[in-house]
Chain A
Amino acid sequence: MSEPLLSVRDLRAWFFTDQGIAKAVDGVSFEVREGETLGIVGESGCGKTVTSLALLGLLPEPPARLMDGSSVRFRGQELVGADEKQLRALRGNEISMVFQEPMSSLNPVFSVGDQITETLRLHRGMDRRAARAEAVRLLGEVGIPEPARRVDEYPHQLSGGMRQRVMIAMAISCSPKLLIADEPTTALDVTIQAQILELLAELRRTLGMAVLLITHDLGVVAEVCDRVVVMYAGQVVETGTVEDIFVRPAHPYTRGLLGSLPSVGGAGGRLVSIAGTVPSPLHWPDGCRFRARCGLAGDGCEAPQDLVELGAHGRAARCWRART
């Protein structure tokens, strides 16, 4: 197989705070292949957003620091420790991001057009007029009606869904190879969510880009992803294709997540949840980090768990029981 587009190896992003060292991301590895959609799933606080920011060197340092041995390779280029200039040339250009909060992710004092043209002029060296024409075209492409009028409007004049479309227009403006979407639909109404997901899937096809979709919503994952990485407590606990994860989940945590999905006409209509809460990144438990919440916890769980390879295609789970 050819080299993956993005290859993350043993990524450790620690925060050095007054309360201690928060190991928000603690040895995460995964890869994204050209043109595929990889989902990263997990509860709030499992480190998925920190992972996404760490890829482009966007974590505030200090307090954050990428620990020795962390590696992020994009098209053969090492990004950890790369100088700021190289990273800037990639950001918004070959790798771009869409964030969770469309309400606050756009600058309120600049027009939508200004914010899109800024990227075009920076990375593509377009002049003002060409960039503006391109911005109008992009707004049309992400499904904003009357783009020629909307281009001069300010973020506060647009709805949440429209703002997220603007964010996406901005992100795809330089035809990136990889789009990192951090909870792109979480803040939106359900109907709008579906539209945005559809838009992302369509853009992925037409532009041939890979998408790294970060979400806590398994429904979203099932809908758009090719492969899934499940994260818990700063680590990857299971990886596999969407079928693997949904049909044959190997890790108790993944099973718990799937079990807590509400289903229409489910028995008794009661919501099921995983008992307990995510531990604090300041004090990850010894041994299996999921042990305290795991229904199957037993003798083999006191030891730190390694990812167990399950067959080919990068399928793996961080649980000794998965071996059998």
Chain B
Amino acid sequence: MTKYLVRRLLGAIPLILGIATIVFFAVNLAPGDPTLYYISPGMTQEVVEQMRVNFGLDEPVHIRYVKWLGAMLTGDFGYSFSHSRPVLDVLADFLPNTLILSACALTVAFLFGIVLGTLQAIRQYSFRDSALSVVLLFFYSMPSFWLALMLILTFSLFARNVWEWPIWFPASGMMSTDYEFLSFGAKVRDRLAHLVLPTTSLACVLTAGIARYMRGSMLEVIRQDYVRTARAKGLSERVVVFKHALRNALLPIITLLGLFIPVLFSGTIFIETIFAWPGMGRTIYEAILTRDYPVVMAGSFFFATMVVVANLLADVLYAWVDPRIRYE
């Protein structure tokens, strides 16, 4: 197992280098000039030229590539044009927030997806199965940014101001303005409350997709001989389904982990922007608008790396759950 892990990690290195290369050229060969964003009327040509030199844009693209890659390998991701600080500092500020949001969305999505899919499968063609199918299809086909706006409208604005519900959720940011003056318990509650709407918006599409896969997988497993064996042993239906069948039905679902992470990350770009969540998605979005190349490159690179890591994680999990796949 350790040997397999080491081999997979080593194999990931050329992959990540390739990703870095593609990211670099995609960003740098795109039309547009970062300096244009900072030019104001009346600037002389010399000032503009000086700005280009400062940004390191005066050299040909292949030279810039070698320099960028060399610097990156030593852990230097350059200097952000718009934030006026090292890219790594920018990442250190925003990346953890995105990871918190993504981790919450992923957990919620897999938990609900697995449970709902199972509940559908064990009563195939029942009213519950059909009703859940319709509801899940609805969430699956709804764009997450629209859902986000509806959630804000319902659970933040109307809940608070119109219907005056006892419970409503904040619509923007990670914490309230008076966060620093709260007690520890209130701080935790404040953080969690801010997580609810963005997590829900992100998780809905994923939940629906996972539930769909889970239903199919469970239907396949539930009619296997070993499920009958489990029943013949005198186990309760709960143990039969949630121990014997579930563990087998989960195998194909694990693959979805690697498959859905990219969907999740592109989702964060909309969701973080809508909810003013200080994360990497929003930062990349703003960096693209301001042509802040170093941030766009570093951000995309980190997202891509995490997709690679997630796939690796999925493979390891697979081996852990399925004894038939123990990599030699």
Contact = CB atoms under 8 A, between A and B. Distances in A.
B226 interface: yes
Interface residues of A, number: 30
Nearest to B227: A107
Interface in A102-121: 104-111, 118-119
A90 B234 CA distance: 7
A106 B229 contact: yes
Nearest to A96: B232
Nearest to B244: A107
Nearest to A111: B323
B228 A99 contact: yes
B234 A105 contact: no
Contacts of B248: 107-109
A122 B235 contact: yes
B187 interface: no
B121 to A, nearest CB: 14
A105 B230 CA distance: 9
A101 B234 contact: no
A107 B234 CA distance: 15
Interface string B150-171: 0000000000000000000000
Residue of A107, A108, A122, A156 with most partner-chain B CB within 10 A: A107
A119 B231 CA distance: 11
Contacts of A128: none
Contacts of A167: 229
Interface in A43-71: 56, 58
Contact of A91 (B225, B232, B324): B232
B64 to A, nearest CB: 51
A92 B321 contact: no
A107 B231 contact: no
B233 interface: yes
A93 interface: yes
Nearest to A173: B233
A101 B324 CA distance: 19
A92 B323 contact: no
Given A108-B324, A109-B323, A123 B234 contact: yes
B89 interface: no
Given A104-B225, A106-B226, A109-B247, A118 B235 contact: yes
B234 A88 contact: yes
Contact of B228 (A58, A88, A89, A123): A58
Interface residues of B, number: 20
B177 interface: no
A91 B322 contact: no
A97 B230 CA distance: 10
A104 B235 contact: no
A97 B228 CA distance: 10
Interface in B224-260: 224-226, 228-237, 244, 247-248
Contacts, number: 72
Interface string A149-175: 000001010000000000100100000
Contacts of A107: 226, 229-230, 244, 247-248
Contacts of A105: 225-226, 228-229
A99 B323 contact: no
B231 A58 contact: yes
Given A101-B225, A104-B226, A106-B226, A122 B233 contact: yes
A99 B224 CA distance: 12
Contacts of A122: 233-235
A156 B323 contact: yes
A119 B323 CA distance: 21
Contacts of A110: 244, 247
Contacts of B225: 99, 101, 104-105
A118 B233 contact: yes
B232 A97 contact: yes
Nearest to A87: B234
Contacts of B229: 97, 99, 105-107, 167, 170
Contacts of A93: 234
A88 B236 CA distance: 7
B232 A92 contact: yes
A109 B322 contact: yes
A154 B235 contact: no
A141 B2 CA distance: 37
B328 to A, nearest CB: 14
Contacts of B322: 108-109
Interface string B293-328: 000000000000000000000000000011110000
Given A91-B231, A156-B323, 13 more contacts: A87-B234, A88-B234, A88-B235, A89-B234, A91-B234, A92-B232, A92-B234, A93-B234, A97-B232, A99-B229, A104-B226, A109-B323, A110-B247
Interface of A: 56, 58, 84, 87-93, 96-97, 99, 101, 104-111, 118-119, 122-123, 154, 156, 167, 170
Interface of B: 224-226, 228-237, 244, 247-248, 321-324
25 contacts: A88-B236, A92-B235, A93-B234, A96-B232, A96-B233, A97-B232, A99-B225, A99-B232, A101-B225, A104-B224, A104-B225, A105-B228, A106-B229, A107-B247, A108-B226, A108-B248, A108-B324, A109-B321, A109-B322, A109-B323, A118-B233, A122-B235, A156-B323, A156-B324, A167-B229
